[in-house]
A and B are shown apart, each in its own frame.
Chain A
Amino acid sequence: MAIHMTEQPVLLSATGMSIWRGEHLLVDELDVCVRAGSIVQIQGSNGSGKTTLLRALIGLAEFDEGEIFWRGEPVRRAQDELHASLIYLGHKAGITAGLTPLENLLSLCPELTSGERGESSARLLVQQVLDELGIGERIDLPSAALSAGQQRRVSLARLRLQSATLWVLDEPLTSLDADGYGWVQAEIQRHVGEGGAVMFTTHQSLSFDPLPVQTLQLAGDQ
């Protein structure tokens, strides 16, 4: 397995990443390499820069030094390709309160309604995934009426509805219950098994036996 892993193509990589926040060196000369079929966990205490690093890697935040590559191409030139094959779930769920879960998911996953697929088959698909997540009966309720955990589940439904090679999940377990943990864990395993890659941060313990997890330790304040 381990030997096989190294043969997989490199999706996202970065060399010499340094990020300053004011007078404070948050990330120091870090090298990152995410291959297809791998799980990378970024570890570090609160405030050690996990979120900042993830956001910098996908082009949502500034960084000071280093170079990022998407499939070997400098990300400056391959930004659109990167974004097209990426699902990012951040601290903010990305759910608009005034819209229903269905409307939210349809606008977040435009491929659901594109092509010959119509609105009704897209609805069926969304219904199926939301059922599985235990919030199927809320599909037409305004999202403002959902709890934090339920909103998180709506945004997690994208993992099933969208096809993207790279998942970048920043604390995906926030406000989820044990059932939710299990679902996320199984989804990550399925995704990696299909040749995708996952980069995530969490303070909970997740195990993906027998899949290996690379860890990337951020030093934080030192």
Chain B
Amino acid sequence: MKLAIRSAGQWLNPLLFFVIVVTLFPLGIGPGPNMLATIAPGVLWVSALLAMMLSLDALFANDFRDGTLEQMVLSGHPLTVMVMGKVMAHWVTSGLPLVLLSPLLGLMMQLPEGAYGILIVSLLLGTLSLSFIGAIGAALIVSLNQGGVLLSLLVLPLTVPVLIFGSGAVAGAGMGLETSAHLSLLFAIVFLSVSLAPLAIAGALRVGVAAGR
């Protein structure tokens, strides 16, 4: 199941999106280092968030269409565990590459030197919880044909706290402020979403399978 990592489009798409969006900002705003440095945390974080959204659509849709999801429900193994595996695989393929690439893009955005460590840590935590929160939305819309817009509508409001604390931490680190408060809150969100989201996802998938045929 986790072997689905194979399809290149799935992990390349969000990464390319992330790179392109972040690259466009210096081009559009001009290369003034002060301006870029101020908006860098926000831009990096918003782009990462949208890139994650991009890959969520397909998370369960293919499995639903070809019937794999039914077989998962019927397999007799706990659905929450399988969902956990699936979402972790999603994070490794679409979240982790963003995190690894972010320092390079930070450089392009004139991110202050002290902020790189925090950028990586906050994105690491942030993308992980985004994967889990987003997967709830992806599971809810699984039996709908055109759920893309609904998905962003459902999920984006839920991701606002992650965005606020994530970019807040990076911005704070850039100004040399203490960021442990932001990071602890991010940790809390990660623990909450990783532990509770699989239950919600499994429930939503059961409903989706019952609605489809």
- Tell me how many residue pairs across A and B have CB atoms closer than 8 Å: 64
Among A57-65, A67-75, A122-130, the stretch that binds chain B is: A57-65
Q: Give chain A's interface secondary structure class.
A: loop
Tell me whether A98 and B4 are in contact (CB under 8 A).
yes
Number of A interface residues in the complex (CB < 8 A):
27
Among B35-43, B58-66, B129-137, the stretch that binds chain A is: B58-66
Residue B3 interfacial (CB < 8 Å) = yes
Residue A15 interfacial (CB < 8 Å) = no
Partner of B3 from A94, A95, A103, A108 at Cβ < 8 Å: A103
Partner of B213 from A55, A58, A88 at Cβ < 8 Å: A55
CA distance A103 to B4 in the complex (A): 11
Tell me whether A52 and B63 are in contact (CB under 8 A).
no
Taken residue by residue from 85 to 128, chain A's Cβ proximity to chain B (1 for < 8 Å, 0 otherwise) reads as 01010111111111100010001101000000000000000000
Q: Please classify how large the interface on chain B is, using the bins under 10, 10 to 19, 20 to 34, 35 or more.
A: 20 to 34
Tell me whether B66 and A83 are in contact (CB under 8 A).
no
B2 to chain A, nearest CB (A): 9
Tell me whether A60 and B210 are in contact (CB under 8 A).
yes
Residue A23 interfacial (CB < 8 Å) = no
Partner of A88 from B3, B7, B62, B74 at Cβ < 8 Å: B74
Partner of A96 from B62, B70, B76, B77 at Cβ < 8 Å: B62
Q: Which of B28-73 contact A (CB under 8 A)?
A: 62-63, 65-68, 70-71, 73
- Give the chain B neighbours of A177 by CB distance below 8 A: none
Tell me whether A94 and B71 are in contact (CB under 8 A).
yes
Tell me whether B71 and A98 are in contact (CB under 8 A).
no
**Chain A residues packing against B (C-beta within 8 Å):** 51-52, 55, 58-62, 80, 83-84, 86, 88, 90-99, 103, 107-108, 110
**Chain B residues packing against A (C-beta within 8 Å):** 1, 3-4, 6-7, 62-63, 65-68, 70-71, 73-77, 209-210, 213
